[in-house]
């Protein structure tokens, strides 16, 4: 499916956005009314004779436009038309592109007979191409990068394991002009990343640390480190997950996938910021050599960690990667992305990314980027009482809280122990456990990986002064 910006309409189908008011003035009002269309948000009505696809909206807000475009594109793909045209302007073109590209996304590579759509061309008619061209191109780059992230998240653990994850990063680096360094287990041992290594010990795949670098041609305005949890499978380890909770745990690499998607977006947008991506790619399995509850791990920073639950493995990988990243890069911002806790979903619902950190200003700025980019994010507050719950009787810190509440925050506070004093206000932790994956469509998300984080952080990086 190709999307082109055009001056005027030339297609089989014209897509029209209608609210209750504009519906009443529509030429086809009677016909639409007879078909039962009353312009409810996300309702669509196909008038095949006149070549109109009427799309109901509550308002002209980007959220409503993006949402209905996601429904419209599915309807169009299921029809037998070759082309369709949407009217756009500078204010809504980003939402329309997101609705079409993200709402129309399908992941079919494991289907032996995928359905083929006849829809080949989408035209966005805008009157004056020059006025919207750059917004259009940026929106396409970010939406495509989001789909790239979704593709990796959706890939099964047999195909996407730590070594193949590293290969994929190398491929991205090559095509997008990024520097790429991969650390295997030998190098990780040299780096004393024993916490990360312990998590991957029972896997038949070697753990990998991926480091990608994007440097702009011009002088960088800021330096940013992005750190991703890349658990290519989380069985829970010896603290084994129950069967039903294990299904979907291929998505536990979504933080790492988001980080790669952001690297793809910013290198194609050619932003003038320097960005480093660090992904800890590990598989958490069981076996005779698995790490155990009761083990004490010595992390790269020297902090000792009592393992009380091998299913709280993401933080054990991230603490070493965060420490490594702080040694390698003196960053102005340091963001980590992780499907870290089921508790984050309990706290915020499954649609919202949990944002944690010390700087209110920085949290506020990323929440603004989330809204502007069509993602949902909310903050979860740290406090010293929750911090105490990570105390261990035998080591410096326990990998789980001693109490059952506030699990998303205590996980964030665990990571906080590995953030150096000078970086406290530069760091934010994004828990994407709920937002990274969905089993039913919502907004412009479809079954599977959503690409959470890519649009939000691309927007944040676009707006860096
Ligand atoms: N990967 C999971 C968190 C998760 C759960 C992500 C559901 C997406 C959907 C993580 O490694 C985990 O298992 N966390 C435990 C922590 C607990 C043992 C303290 C959890 O959330 O139950
Ligand atoms: Zn786990
Ligand atoms: Zn996990």
pLDDT tens for the 465 residues of the chain, in order: 999 999 877 788 999 999 999 999 999 999 999 999 999 999 999 999 999 999 999 999 999 999 999 999 999 999 999 999 999 999 999 999 999 999 999 999 999 999 999 999 999 999 899 999 999 999 999 999 999 999 999 999 999 999 999 999 999 999 999 999 999 999 999 999 999 999 999 999 999 999 999 999 999 999 999 999 999 999 999 999 999 999 999 999 999 999 999 999 999 999 999 999 999 999 999 999 999 999 999 999 999 999 999 999 999 999 999 999 999 999 999 999 999 999 999 999 999 999 999 999 999 999 999 999 999 999 999 999 999 999 999 999 999 999 999 999 999 999 999 999 999 999 999 999 999 999 999 999 999 999 999 999 999 999 999
Closest atom of ligand 1 to 284 CA is 11
Closest atom of ligand 1 to 342 CA is 21
Q: What are 128-146's pLDDT values in tens digits?
A: 999 999 999 999 999 999 9
Closest atom of ligand 1 to 241 CA is 13
CA dist., res. 450 & res. 75, Å (int):
20
Calculate how far, in angstroms, residue 340's C-alpha sits from the geometric centre of ligand 1: 6
Calculate how far, in angstroms, residue 313's C-alpha sits from the geometric centre of ligand 2: 5
Q: What are 4-55's pLDDT values in tens digits?
A: 999 877 788 999 999 999 999 999 999 999 999 999 999 999 999 999 999 9
Calculate how far, in angstroms, residue 310's C-alpha sits from the geometric centre of ligand 2: 7
CA dist., res. 224 & res. 274, Å (int):
6
> Which pLDDT does position 10 carry in this prediction?
73
Closest atom of ligand 1 to 344 CA is 21
Ligand nearest to the CA of 433: 1
Burial 330-347 (b: 16+ CB within 10 A, else e): ebbbbbbbbbbbebbbeb
457 contacts 262 by C-beta, under 8 angstroms = yes
Burial 98-114 (b: 16+ CB within 10 A, else e): bbbbbbbbebeeeeeee
Select which of 201, 241, 328, 368 is catalytic: 241
Calculate how far, in angstroms, residue 311's C-alpha sits from the geometric centre of ligand 1: 7
Calculate how far, in angstroms, residue 227's C-alpha sits from the geometric centre of ligand 3: 15
Is residue 420 flagged as an active site residue? no
Calculate how far, in angstroms, residue 234's C-alpha sits from the geometric centre of ligand 3: 5
Angle at the Cα of 246 (from 313 to 255), degrees rounded to 5? 50
Select which of 253, 300, 315, 455 is catalytic: 315
Q: What is the DSSP letter of 445?
A: B
Please report the DSSP string for 12-55 in residue order: SEEEEEE-HHHHHT-TTHHHHHHTT----TT-EEEETTTTEEEE
Among 153, 233, 252, 344, which residue has the most ligand 1 atoms within 8 Å of its CB, making it the best to mutate?
A: 252
Q: What are phi and psi for residue 229, nearest 5 degrees?
A: -75, 120
> Which pLDDT does position 9 carry in this prediction?
73
Ligand nearest to the CA of 342: 1
Calculate how far, in angstroms, residue 233's C-alpha sits from the geometric centre of ligand 3: 8
Rounded to a whole number of angstroms, the distance between the first and last alpha carbons of the chain is 35
Calculate how far, in angstroms, residue 263's C-alpha sits from the geometric centre of ligand 3: 23
Ligand nearest to the CA of 431: 1
Which structure tokens are listed for 218?
């011009």
Residue nearest to atom 22 of ligand 1 (CA): 342
Locate tokens 């035998």: which residue? 394
Residue nearest to atom 18 of ligand 1 (CA): 312
Residue 223 gets the label, from left (phi > 0), alpha (psi -120 to 50) or beta, of beta
Ligand nearest to the CA of 410: 1
Closest of 418, 406, 402, 198 to residue 308, by C-alpha:
402
H/E/C letters for each residue in 202-270?
CCCCCCEEEEEEECCCCCCCCEEEEEEEEEEEECCCCCCCCHHHHCCHHHHHHHHHHHHHHHHHHHHHC
Which pTM does this prediction carry?
0.98
H/E/C letters for each residue in 126-140?
CCCHHHHHHHHHHHH
Among 341, 398, 433, which residue has the most ligand 1 atoms within 8 Å of its CB, making it the best to mutate?
A: 341
Is residue 315 flagged as an active site residue? yes
> Which pLDDT does position 12 carry in this prediction?
86
CA dist., res. 261 & res. 450, Å (int):
12
Counting every residue, how long is the chain? 465
Closest atom of ligand 1 to 410 CA is 19
Ligand nearest to the CA of 153: 1
Residue nearest to atom 7 of ligand 1 (CA): 342
Round the CA-based radius of gyration of the chain to a whole number and report it: 23
Between the alpha carbon of residue 261 and those of residues 56, 168, 265, 327, 328, the distances in Å are 32, 12, 6, 24, 21
> Which pLDDT does position 206 carry in this prediction?
98
> Which pLDDT does position 289 carry in this prediction?
98
> Which pLDDT does position 115 carry in this prediction?
92
Among 157, 251, 253, 342, which residue has the most ligand 1 atoms within 8 Å of its CB, making it the best to mutate?
A: 342
Closest atom of ligand 1 to 400 CA is 19
Residue nearest to atom 3 of ligand 1 (CA): 341
> Which pLDDT does position 242 carry in this prediction?
98
The ligand 1 site (C-beta within 6 Å) comprises 234, 252, 309, 311-314, 339-343, 400, 407, 433
Residue 279 pairs in a beta bridge with 210, 228
Residue nearest to atom 17 of ligand 1 (CA): 312
Q: What are 344-369's pLDDT values in tens digits?
A: 999 999 999 999 999 999 999 999 99
Q: What is the DSSP letter of 394?
A: S
> Which pLDDT does position 453 carry in this prediction?
98
> Which pLDDT does position 357 carry in this prediction?
98
CA dist., res. 217 & res. 120, Å (int):
36
């Amino acid at each position: 499916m190709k999307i082109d910006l055009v001056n005027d309409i030339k297609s089989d189908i014209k897509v029209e956005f209608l609210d209750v008011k504009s519906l009443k003035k529509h030429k086809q009002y009677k016909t639409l009314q007879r078909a039962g269309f009353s312009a409810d948000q996300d309702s669509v009505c196909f008038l095949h004779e006149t070549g109109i696809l009427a799309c109901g909206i509550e308002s002209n807000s980007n959220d409503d436009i993006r949402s209905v475009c996601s429904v419209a594109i599915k309807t169009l793909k299921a029809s037998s038309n070759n082309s369709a045209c949407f009217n756009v302007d500078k204010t809504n073109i980003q939402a329309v592109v997101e609705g079409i590209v993200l709402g129309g996304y399908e992941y079919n590579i494991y289907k032996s007979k995928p359905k083929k759509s006849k829809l080949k061309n989408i035209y966005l008619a805008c009157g004056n191409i020059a006025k919207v061209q750059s917004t259009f191109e940026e929106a396409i780059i970010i939406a495509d990068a989001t789909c790239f992230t979704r593709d990796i998240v959706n890939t099964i653990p047999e195909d996407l394991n730590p070594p193949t994850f590293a290969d994929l990063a190398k491929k991205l680096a090559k095509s997008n002009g990024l520097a790429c360094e991969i650390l295997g287990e030998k190098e990780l041992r040299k780096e004393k990343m024993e916490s990360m290594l312990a998590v991957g010990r029972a896997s038949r795949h070697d753990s990998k640390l991926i480091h990608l670098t994007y440097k702009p041609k011009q002088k960088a305005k800021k330096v940013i480190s992005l750190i991703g949890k890349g658990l290519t499978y989380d069985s829970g380890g010896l603290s084994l997950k129950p069967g039903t909770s294990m299904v979907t745990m291929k998505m536990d690499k979504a933080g790492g996938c988001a980080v790669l998607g952001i690297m793809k977006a910013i290198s194609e947008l050619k932003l003038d910021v320097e960005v480093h991506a660090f992904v800890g790619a590990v598989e958490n399995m069981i076996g005779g050599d698995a790490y155990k509850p009761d083990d004490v791990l010595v992390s790269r920073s020297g902090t000792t960690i009592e393992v009380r639950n091998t299913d709280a493995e993401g933080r054990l990988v991230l603490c070493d990667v965060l420490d490594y990243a702080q040694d390698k890069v003196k960053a102005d911002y340091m963001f980590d992305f992780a499907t870290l806790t089921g508790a984050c979903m309990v706290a915020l619902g499954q649609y919202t990314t949990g944002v944690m950190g010390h700087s209110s200003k920085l949290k506020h700025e990323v929440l603004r980027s989330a809204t502007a980019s069509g993602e949902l994010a909310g903050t979860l507050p740290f406090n010293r009482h929750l911090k105490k719950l990570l105390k261990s009787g035998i080591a410096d810190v326990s990998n789980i809280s001693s109490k059952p509440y506030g699990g998303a925050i205590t996980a964030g506070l665990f990571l906080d122990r590995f953030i150096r004093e000078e970086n406290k206000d530069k760091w934010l932790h994004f828990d994407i456990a709920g937002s990274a994956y969905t089993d039913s469509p919502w907004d412009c998300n479809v079954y599977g990986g959503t690409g959470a984080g890519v649009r939000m952080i691309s927007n944040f990086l676009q707006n860096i002064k």
